[in-house]
Amino acid sequence: MMILSGDPPRSRILTLVLVVIILALAATPFLFPGAKALNVAAKICVFAALVASYDLLLGYTGSVSFAHTMFYGIGSYAIAIALYGMGPNWAAVATGIVVGLPLAALLALAIGLFSLRVAAIFFAMITLAVASAFQVLASQLSWLTGGEDGRSFQLPELLRPGTVLIPKSLFGFEINGRILTFYLVFAVSALMILALLRVVNSPFGRVLQAIRENRFRAEALGFRTVFHLTYANCLAALVAASAGMLNALWLRYAGPDTSLSFSIMLDILLMVVIGGMGTIYGALIGATIFILAQNYLQSLMGVASNAAGEAGLPLLPGLLHPDRWLLWLGLLFIASVYFFPTGVVGRLRKASGDKSAGSSH
């Protein structure tokens, strides 16, 4: 209980699902051999942390930010540029962290202070504008960021796939640098999610929820709402930047498509809503469902599209084309905002008779 900050899943099925997901992720290198499975698992870990940090904003404070990928991108690029410029050593990793995290926090502070000065309603629009300007900036400053191509880099010796830590002869599995990197991603993501769980269940987190429900009343109770909201913004930005760093370390690459594009922002929104806003656990569920679908459902759509094409049906091949999978996710997104605003977690909690299930907005 301590480790979950007194906020257990509160549903037997949910507990079971979470345990299965976490065990499967932890055992991926041994259960599912192959590069693709490991990639999917690492991506789920990174996105679970990223989405959880977004949930702190969307689910707990009720403010819609479109700048979350910006912080994710800052983290990715900080690591990538440092390792690209300084060569594959630990000092470069440390530099990336020391430069990236404060940068993300400062930018979040600036956006927070500025947009909280104007009407609250502007927040979503302002973050959208800032994020799109940042995206253009990143692709234009090609001497620094590599432009559209991004930056590929080498990892420090210890984390390279070629580094064999425990040879196959010992346990029947080869533990190499790649697997070590995976566990690094797994452990840091897990720590960040647990930390976020701690934050939302602290008195600070309660104030955030009070602000979400009724900002005026929270203010009348004597809480400095501007301080709380800005603080939550900075925290979320820090976690997002860290997730970006993990992503860059895993991919050995940072570029606009993998860390900055608007479509990642939409992915995050979809994951939060499908998993369940205001629950933190929803982040893990949403990320798992979404990324599994992204990686395995798409090929299924290709098959269906080809079948429809051969059957000579009009329109369907186009609609079922693997590139159009966002269309179906968009429909799912609208349906889930409308019918299941509390997402998978809220549904499961409700099914097990938990009265305080989900959030009531």
Partner 1 sequence: MSDIAATDPLPKPKRDLAPILLPVALAVLMIPLIGSTSSWLTLTVASLAMGMMIFIMASGLTLVFGLMDVLNFGHGAFIAVGAYVATLVLAPFAASIQADSLWMNLAVLAPAALLSMAVSGALGLVVERVLILPVYGQHLKQILMTTGGLIVAEQTLYALWGPQIIPMPLPTSLRGSFILGDVAIAKYRVLAMLIGLAIFIAIQLVLNRSKVGLLIRAGVENREMVEALGYRIRRLFLGVFMTGSALAGLGGVMWALYREQVHASMSDDLTVLIFIVVIIGGLGSIGGCFIGAILVAMVANYGGFLVPKLALVSNILLMVAILMWRPRGLYAVTSR
Question: Contact residues for partner 1 (CB under 8 A)?
Answer: 58, 62, 64, 114, 117-119, 121-122, 124-126, 128-130, 132-133, 136-137, 140, 262, 266, 269, 273, 315, 318-319, 321, 323-324, 326-327, 329-331, 333-334, 337-338, 341, 361
**Is the Cβ of residue 140 or residue 306 nearer to partner 1 in the bound state?**
140
Nearer to partner 1, 227 or 262 (CB): 262
- To partner 1, the closest distance from the beta carbon of 25 in angstroms equals 28
**Amino acid at the residue 124:** A
φ, ψ at 151 (rounded to 5°)? -125, 120
Whether the CB-CB separation of 148 and 256 falls below 8 Å is answered with yes
Helix (H, G, I), strand (E, B) or coil at 311: coil
For residue 68 the two structure tokens come to 């979350």
| Cβ at position 288, least distance to partner 1 in Å | 21
Nearer to partner 1, 195 or 319 (CB): 319
CB of 119 to partner 1, least distance (A): 6
**CB 260, min distance to partner 1, A:** 14
CB nearer partner 1, residue 244 or residue 278: 278
223-227 contact pairs (CB < 8 A, 24+): 226/113, 226/116
What is the full DSSP assignment across 139-192?
HH-HHHH-GGG-EE-PPPGGGSTT-EEE-HHHHSS-EEHHHHHHHHHHHHHHHH
Nearer to partner 1, 30 or 262 (CB): 262
CA 121/CA 36 separation, integer angstroms = 42
Nearer to partner 1 (CB atom), residue 127 or residue 242: 127
Least Cβ distance, residue 327 to partner 1 (angstroms): 3
Q: How far apart are CA 348 and CA 346, in angstroms?
A: 6
